[in-house]
Amino acid sequence: MKKVMVGNHAVAWGVRLARVEVISAYPITPQTQVVEKLSEMCADGTLPARFIKVESEHSAMAAVIGASATGVRAFTASSSHGLLYMHEMLHWAGGARLPIVMVDVNRAVGAPWNIWTDQNDSLSQRDTGWVQLYCETNQEVVDTTIMAFKLAETLDVPVMLMLDGFYLSHTAEPVDVPDQEMVDRFLPKRAASYKLDVESPHAFGALVKPDAYMEMRFLQQEALQQVPQTLAAIEKDWQRMFGRSYGALEAYRADDAELLLVTSGTVTSTARAVVDARRAAGERVGLLKMKMFRPFPTALLRDALRGVPRVAVLDRNISPGHGGIFAEELRSALYDIPDAERPELFGFVLGLGGRDITPAVIDEVIEKTRAGVVPSREDLWVGVNP
Amino acid sequence: MPKHTTTSGGAARVPEHITTTNGARHVPQVAMSSMSTLATRTGSWKYQYPAYHDRVAPCNAGCPVGIDIEGYMNLLREGRVDEARDLLLAENPLPAVTGRVCHHPCENQCNRRALDEAVAIHAVERAMGDLAHQRPAPVFRSALRPERVAVVGSGPAGLACAYHLARFGYGVTVYEAAPAPGGMLRLGIPEYRLPRDVLDRDIARVAAHGAEIKCGVRIGRDISWDDLHRTFDAIFVAVGAHASRALGVPGEDLPGVRPGLAFLREVNLGGRPDLGRHVVVVGGGNTAMDCARSAMRLGARVTVVYRRTRDEMPAIREEVEDAMREGAEFVFLANPLAFTSAAGRVDAIVCERMALGEPDASGRRRPMPTGERFTVYADTVLSAIGESTALDGFYPDVQGSASGLEVDALGGTSRDLLYAGGDVTDLERTVADALGAGKRAALGIDRHLRKHHGDTHELNALRFGEGNLSAARWLRRDPIRRTDPINQVVGVDDLNFTQYQRVRRHADPHLPSGSAVTGFDEVNAGLTASEAMDEAKRCLNCGVCTECDVCLIFCPDAAITHAEGGAYVIALDYCKGCGICAAECPRGAITMTQDRP
Amino acid sequence: MSQLRINELIPEGRLLASGHLACPGCAAPLAMKLALNALGANTIVVMPACCYTIIAGPWPQSSLQVPVFHTAFATGPAVASGIRAALDTQGKFDTTVLVWVGDGGTFDIGLQSLSGAAERNENILYVCYDNEAYMNTGIQRSSATPWGAWTTTTPAQFPEASNKKDILAIMAAHNIPYAATATPAYPVDFIAKVNKAKAMRGTRFIHLLSPCPPGWKCGDDEGLELARMAVQSRVFPMVEVEDGQHWRVTMEHAGDPVEPYLRRQGRFRHLSGEQVTHIQREITARWESLQRRAQAEPLVPAGAM
């Protein structure tokens, strides 16, 4: 069934198809359409879930933690300050190994106030033990929402799914809505391996002394390290049933590329057009889309970038005092590649607070990457008018 | 009571973690519990230990007879009426009597007074005594002994001594000078306080235990003391104090001036003398009250003249109240100086007004003359200012034979194998003290004849606190099993009243005073059996665990549990020694100690 | 019967295991034992940061023989809301979700979450065991600390200068079905309130006075007696409120003077006579205010209707 819908509604459709049982959320621009659509679905019975309309994001995350700990499928969505307000509980969900799925509609963080997109909200949550997946299209949002539950419940890790505020959240695209029966086959009802159950009473999350805390963190790391191959297997099933897949990384026209753009989110679509134009002009320019940021897909990235002469990373985020976050982490990942095969990496900071990343901006990125033998600084700002 | 125990040092449950692998250690991916906290021996934190120690209720310690009052109250609470009766009768042969006439110092000691009112112990005892008439206890006697003991006097001391000696296995003969046994119980106490059938039934119990009672025999006159000594292995002297003390004022020998005791004896043996219209009773003790009330029953108007005030009256409070209710007038602070006469018979008593001065040896304020005089008119004067002893042909060398026999802790006089008790000795002259003295002497005689040489420590183990000796304990037949008892009286501060509700004491139902004075029917009707059972449940059971579960309920460490048979187990592995059990125990039956149990 | 046989009114149970880590004389595990015995095994406990985080026992142990979810400080009611929702979707309507929180987690950091849950009338039972300061971290003042009290952050020279927050009135103002005060020192009253709350649906709130010997600076065995003194002196009256409207005083209060209660605790030892008088006046005023509220819904005498 094809439907035209905005990204936020694509989230709601994914949640509905995944047969989520408990939702708890608090409204925030530009996520609000998610909670509105889900409220409608719960109200009209198309989604028979309990929706707890809490008084804060902190409580929203706490409520889905409680629900997930009781063995049901739970979902929340937020954005920007809302996500930051959840921070403490994001850690709790990660440490408690609860397979919660949430959507973050990427939005810049104040001060000053800004409601438009960038990735600083979600990237500042990168150490909370959540898988982070960045989506490019509304189709990918629907599909990934459903797959995220499968991934989360397979490994007992929470998954956060990102879509760019307004560029995706409020942009209508045709979406092939997966068939519910097929989704049910793909994603059966959650069978928790442990849960709050009066028939089998256990305490969860009590004080763990130094003699075991580290082991639990190690096991959390082990589980997260399994995410790339687990997601690959899940996508294989999805591909088989629905004819679509995305990958933790997607290489676009990257064969024999002299220059590879590395992107995430909606800027990928713009970059695809630029790449097509450059290829048409005979230039060896390609694209690597990073969907997965956590766990950081180091091995996949090394394979994809080994021997590529120049790499331009487009970061719609900034770690103040350091640089673009994707670029910084990529530099670390590529450090172990022998000098001869290690690409020269150019890290660009651009598009903050919702500033447009037009084809012209990406052209500027390409030109600057070509021009320098080595980057003049780690953070190359594009489109800044100082 | 069941034996409480403690536990410690059992095998800990070894944790079995849910396993996910990390080298040799097994740690799960989430912090999910797999065991209780029982593996954590928090008991090691403590520096003090709780222990169940039954202690002594103040009523028991305060009872001159040495009755385990708390014990039988506890049995009654549990509905074990026959066992309660037997426990009472193990110490007191005459409960129907004492339930009526005892001055019940037990009630003065009752800790319940700090909450509302003392338990009406006398009323419960009376009901138990009456019940024992309807449903007698089985006669108990130890293995029979070859020795025989003579008991001289069949008042409460003599009856108690005879009763206990019989239970100890001895042959006993009681000699009574009067035509019927009972001593002062029969001759001194009026029927409206102690009906004769009640007295007869209690005395019958003593006889039923094998004591032979010979009435109309006065030792020293009909049989010499020496003959008695030759015939018997030991003698217990309890002839009482039947002589009224003289007032020592002019006109005392006038017709119409009578010793109160003689008057009571006449009335109690059935006489109904004509006293005239107005009777003056001199004195403030029980004999005075008995005289006053008996005189009113003979139609007289009565005025009691007493040299101190109501507060200093030695009579039982209830007796004074009854006398007042029945219409006796009281003239306090009045000391007789002389009797005047008309037509050869007393017609008035001249008194001096007194004032209270400093306390005397008895602790009561001494009456001091004021010089003011006044006259009270009287057709008959009954003097009741005290009694004295009169022993016929007795050994003059026995210490105290002239005033009051001196006895040791077990009733022994200065003469070998001659014991004494009751009003003939220099001890307190009450029915209860007489019963207690008779028991002590029986125990002393038993020890002596069996050549048992126990020490003071052994004797103290028979006592309730510093109170009287327990015959049941002496016989090693105390049916109450105590938990690690400490012979220490429980005071109000040892109790926790939180769990107790205020419950009104059952008042004794009295005949209306208007009809009471028309005859000698019993004035105090006593409680019904069910009222008495209710009253027994007012007992706080001071110092004795009743398995009320308060300790178990309040233990924050869940370290107290029920054991088999209703007792408690304290898990010392987990008890942190906080002392809440001891603090919350309603009755002071838990003690915190520094020593590991 | 002279002694109230409280064992006949208090359910037995073995849902609290020995070996928990409460300080000697702490009333919180007693309260937990009583509550769990009344609620039974069909109960899930949510435990935000509080003394009980430690008391319950370190992993892999648990002193509670029912499921427990430990969670962050401010989140008790929200986590409970999620558990409730999950249970309801599973058809487990009869399982009680019990939030067990200290005063800091209730009066201070958790108040927003609690207010949210109460406003939504979440079907949970919330018990605040109030020991009147942050005891777990070493006796720092909270908004439940009474005026004049010493804590490590309100030293005796400058003792607590604010009145204790009236949490019961705050909760009653949410018009929840049930809000009550209680103390484990009066277990029959406490159990009656737990049973009453258990039989209701919606947000039920019980505010427990829970003595803390180290924090109150009293003897290990004195806490319960002090709690009773707090009640009898009307420092902490026993009250219940139904639907936010119907106020009822649930036992007789002797109206004893407050001074003996204060003088037996080291945390109040520095108080001057004037300060004690001030506290007494405050108590009297609050009691009169409570009387006016309670009179709005007088108890119907037995047999009157």
Domain boundaries, chain C: 20-295
Residue A206 forms contact with B (CB below 8 Å): yes
Residue B24 forms contact with A (CB below 8 Å): no
What architecture does CATH give domain A249-381? 3-Layer(aba) Sandwich (3.40)
Place of tokens 């003690």: B591
Q: A24–C82: do the CB atoms touch at under 8 Å?
A: yes
Residue A218 forms contact with B (CB below 8 Å): yes
Q: For CA atoms B259, B262, B266, B268, give the dihedral sign.
A: positive
Ranges for all domains in chain A classified under CATH 3.40.50.970: 2-240
DSSP C53-82: HHHT--TTEESBSS-EEEE-TT-HHHHHHH
Where b means 16+ CB within 10 Å and e means fewer, B132-170 reads: bbeeebeeeeeeebebbbbbbbbbbbbbbbbbbbbbbbb
The answer to whether B524 and B101 have CB atoms below 8 angstroms apart is no
Residue B20 forms contact with A (CB below 8 Å): yes
Q: How many CB atoms lie within 10 A of CB B295?
A: 28
Residue C305 pLDDT: 41
Q: A219–B20: do the CB atoms touch at under 8 Å?
A: yes
What is the full per-residue pLDDT of chain A (386 aa) written as tens digits?
Answer: 899 999 999 999 999 999 999 999 999 999 999 999 999 999 999 999 999 999 999 999 999 999 999 999 999 999 999 999 999 999 999 999 999 999 999 999 999 999 999 999 999 999 999 999 999 999 999 999 999 999 999 999 999 999 999 999 999 999 999 999 999 999 999 999 899 999 999 999 999 999 899 999 999 999 999 999 999 999 999 999 999 999 999 999 999 999 999 999 999 999 999 999 999 999 999 999 999 999 999 999 999 999 999 999 999 999 999 999 999 999 999 999 999 999 999 999 999 999 999 999 999 999 999 997 778 888 999 988 86
Beta bridge partner(s), residue A60: none
Measured between CA atoms, how close is B541 to chain C, in angstroms?
10
The answer to whether C89 and A22 have CB atoms below 8 angstroms apart is yes
Place of tokens 């989110």: A265
Measured between CA atoms, how close is B32 to chain A, in angstroms?
5
Task: Tell me which residues of chain C have a pLDDT lower than 50.
Answer: 298-305
Residues 75-104 of A with CB under 8 A from B: 96-97
Ranges for all domains in chain B classified under CATH 3.30.70.20: 5-54+546-593
C117-132 pLDDT, tens digit per residue, is 999 999 999 999 999 9
Strand order in the sheet with B568-571: B5-7, B568-571, B560-562
Residue A49 forms contact with B (CB below 8 Å): no
Instruction: Select from B15, B537, B549 the Cβ nearest to the Cβ of C1.
Output: B537
Ranges for all domains in chain A classified under CATH 3.40.50.920: 249-381
Instruction: Select from C56, C81, C120 the Cβ nearest to the Cβ of A206.
Output: C56
**In CATH, B5-54+546-593 is 3.30.70.20:** yes
Residues of B in contact with A218 (CB under 8 A): 22
Residue B3 pLDDT: 62
Q: In this structure, what token pair is assigned to residue B244?
A: 């009224």
CATH number of B148-242+398-474: 3.50.50.60
SS3 content of chain B, % helix, strand, coil (to 5): 30, 20, 45
Q: Peptide bond preceding A30: is omega within 30 degrees of 0, i.e. cis?
A: yes
Residues of A in contact with C71 (CB under 8 A): 62, 65-66, 92, 205
d(CA B195, CA B204): 14
Tell me which chains share at least 3 CB pairs under 8 Å with chain A.
B, C
Residues 33-62 of B with CB under 8 A from A: 33-34
Residues of B in contact with C6 (CB under 8 A): 499, 548-550, 553
Q: C43–A198: do the CB atoms touch at under 8 Å?
A: yes
**In CATH, A2-240 is 3.40.50.970:** yes
Which chain B residue has its CA at the smallest distance from C23's CA? B576
Q: A74–C82: do the CB atoms touch at under 8 Å?
A: yes
Q: A63–C79: do the CB atoms touch at under 8 Å?
A: yes
Q: B30–A205: do the CB atoms touch at under 8 Å?
A: yes
Instruction: Select from C65, C70, C92 the Cβ nearest to the Cβ of A205.
Output: C70
Q: Beta-strand (E) ranges in B41-107?
A: 49-52
The answer to whether C262 and C270 have CB atoms below 8 angstroms apart is no
Element (H, E) at A292: strand A292-294
Residues of B in contact with C3 (CB under 8 A): 499-501, 540, 546, 548, 586
Q: A216–B33: do the CB atoms touch at under 8 Å?
A: no
CATH superfamily assigned to domain B245-388: FAD/NAD(P)-binding domain (3.50.50.60)
CATH superfamily assigned to domain C20-295: Thiamin diphosphate (ThDP)-binding fold, Pyr/PP domains (3.40.50.970)
Residues 486-545 of B with CB under 8 A from C: 496, 498-501, 503, 537-540
Residue B114 forms contact with C (CB below 8 Å): no
Residues of C in contact with A21 (CB under 8 A): 85-86, 89
Question: How many B-C residue pairs are in contact by the CB < 8 A criterion?
Answer: 143
Compute and round to an integer the Cα radius of gyration of chain B.
Answer: 29
Q: Angle between the C111-119 and C76-89 helix axes, to the nearest 10 degrees?
A: 40
Residue C304 pLDDT: 44
Best mutation target among A196, A197, A199 (most C Cβ atoms within 10 Å) is A196
Q: Helices H, strands E: what count in chain C?
A: 11, 9
Which chain B residue has its CA at the smallest distance from A223's CA? B29
Residues of B in contact with A203 (CB under 8 A): 32-33
Q: A203–B34: do the CB atoms touch at under 8 Å?
A: no
d(CA B586, CA B548): 9
Measured between CA atoms, how close is C120 to chain B, in angstroms?
30
Which chain A residue has its CA at the smallest distance from B24's CA? A215
Ranges for all domains in chain B classified under CATH 3.50.50.60: 148-242+398-474, 245-388
Residues of B in contact with A208 (CB under 8 A): 31
ipTM associated with this complex: 0.96
Question: How many A-B residue pairs are in contact by the CB < 8 A criterion?
Answer: 38
Residues of A in contact with C59 (CB under 8 A): 203, 206-209, 212
Best mutation target among A19, A47, A58, A59 (most C Cβ atoms within 10 Å) is A59
Q: A54–C79: do the CB atoms touch at under 8 Å?
A: no
Instruction: Select from A96, A206, A215 the Cβ nearest to the Cβ of B22.
Output: A215
Best mutation target among B554, B575, B584, B585 (most C Cβ atoms within 10 Å) is B554
Single-letter amino acid, residue B64: P
Residue A375 pLDDT: 82
Q: How far is CA A29 from the centre of its chain?
A: 18
Element (H, E) at B268: helix B260-268
Q: A156–B29: do the CB atoms touch at under 8 Å?
A: yes
Q: Which runs of consecutive H residues, i.e. helices, occur in A226-323?
A: 227-242, 267-280, 298-305
Best mutation target among B20, B30, B40, B546 (most C Cβ atoms within 10 Å) is B40
Instruction: Select from C65, C221, C228 the Cβ nearest to the Cβ of B579.
Output: C221
Place of tokens 């419960």: B124
Q: In this structure, what token pair is assigned to residue B65?
A: 């007879």
Residues of B in contact with C10 (CB under 8 A): 553
Q: What is the mean pLDDT of each run of 10 residues along chain B (597 residues)?
A: 61 39 69 94 95 96 98 96 97 98 96 97 98 94 96 98 98 96 96 97 97 96 94 96 89 94 95 95 96 96 96 93 95 95 94 93 89 95 91 88 90 95 94 98 96 86 94 93 92 95 94 90 95 96 94 96 88 97 97 88
Residue B27 forms contact with C (CB below 8 Å): no
d(CA B184, CA C241): 67
d(CA B217, CA A4): 128
Give φ, ψ of B355 to 5 degrees.
-130, 155
- Which DSSP letter does residue B44 get? G
Measured between CA atoms, how close is C255 to chain A, in angstroms?
41
Which chain B residue has its CA at the smallest distance from C5's CA? B548
DSSP B471-527: HHHHTT------SS----B--GGG--GGGBPP-PPPPPPB--HHHHTTS-S-SB---
Q: Which of A95, A91, A65 is nearest to A206 (CA)?
A: A95
Measured between CA atoms, how close is B574 to chain C, in angstroms?
6
